[in-house]
């Protein structure tokens, strides 16, 4: 039953270990606060998703026309890139063709031109009227 009444040397040694552990824990916590305040928490970049909004009375023909206009705009961009690649020679042409193939296979042209309206809506444009006379100062 000596563990109920340890000798003074053992009690002192136990207190030293407890003191060292508390100092170590405090040091770790303070260091973590210091590191966080210095460099901060790095949040991941937000993922932005755009959605196209249409009027409620949009007809099927308008939707088909918009899809055709979008497809034509994408094809025009790809044709422009192919025409530029045709002007190159040698290693530059091979590199450009590989980059073009990666772009097309990765769906890059769909991200660059997600939507083109067949008939642009003028109602969505907000114009601030110009003042009739310059303000008097």
Between 33 and 119, name the one with better pLDDT: 33
25 confidence band (pLDDT: 50, 70, 90): very high
pLDDT at 125 over 70: no
pLDDT at 57 over 60: yes
Establish how many alpha carbons lie within 13 A of residue 103's alpha carbon, considering only the half-sphere containing its beta carbon. Answer: 15
For residue 68 the two structure tokens come to: 């055709």
Structure confidence at residue 24 (pLDDT): 97
pLDDT at 21 over 90: yes
pLDDT at 127 over 60: no
pLDDT at 59 over 70: yes
pLDDT at 33 over 70: yes
Nearest-angstrom CA–CA distance, 64 and 95: 36
Residue 103, C-beta contacts closer than 8 angstroms, at least 6 positions apart = 81, 109
**Segments making up each domain of the chain, as ranges:** 2-39, 44-128
Nearest-angstrom CA–CA distance, 33 and 25: 13
């Amino acid at each position: 039953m000596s563990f109920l009444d340890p000798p003074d040397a053992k009690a002192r040694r136990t207190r030293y270990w407890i003191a060292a552990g508390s100092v170590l824990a405090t040091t770790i916590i303070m260091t973590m606060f210091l590191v966080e305040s210095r460099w901060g928490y790095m949040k991941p970049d937000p993922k932005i998703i755009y959605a196209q909004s249409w009027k409620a009375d949009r007809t099927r023909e308008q939707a088909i026309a918009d899809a055709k206009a979008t497809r034509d705009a994408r094809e025009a961009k790809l044709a422009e890139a192919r025409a530029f690649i045709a002007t190159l020679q040698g290693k530059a042409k091979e590199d450009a063709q590989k980059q073009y193939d990666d772009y097309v296979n990765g769906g890059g042209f769909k991200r660059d031109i997600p939507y083109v309206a067949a008939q642009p809506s003028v109602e969505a444009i907000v114009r601030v009227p110009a003042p009739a006379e310059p303000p008097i100062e």
